[in-house]
Structure 1
Amino acid sequence: MRPLREDLAAYLENIQLLDREVGDILSKFEKLGLLKNTIVFFLSDHGRPTLKVKYWMYDSGTRIPFIVRIPQQMLPTKGFSVGRHE
């Protein structure tokens, strides 16, 4: 069994890899002329595979990454605010 520090390092490395991969996908969409008329959704599971992280109903077990990229021309003109919503 790997020590917790190694697990955390591997998790953070995976986040960096994912960031690069998402950037590559968005770049490819842009090169193909699809980015300005495509809504992109990114979501994931509950994060780190550490023992008991999701055992209790705290943020680590209930919140998930969820990002939406909407091109400017597709945004509604009224009644919509961009930002973090709880």
Structure 2
Amino acid sequence: MSLSVTQCSAADPLQTVIVPQLLMVSGLGWRDTYWGLIIPQLSGCAPAALLLREHVRAIPAVLSAGSSTPSCNPESGESG
């Protein structure tokens, strides 16, 4: 049995990935193991982390600067 990693986009429904992942996990002998639960889920983490990173980078510096007021900063030595 040949194993191949399936490429899918974020627009593909979850059901289109389940059967190829089951075949991959079964082919590797990981059925009923923690590896079989964890490893297939890692393939979906990279795009989500990239999207979150880009979203956070898009926040203007003005909004980020407003979140660090001197009275709320415990290292400033001032008590509010």
More contact order relative to length (CA 8 Å, sep ≥ 6): 1
TM-score (norm 1): 0.34
TM-score (norm 2): 0.35
Larger strand percent: 1
Larger helix percent: 2
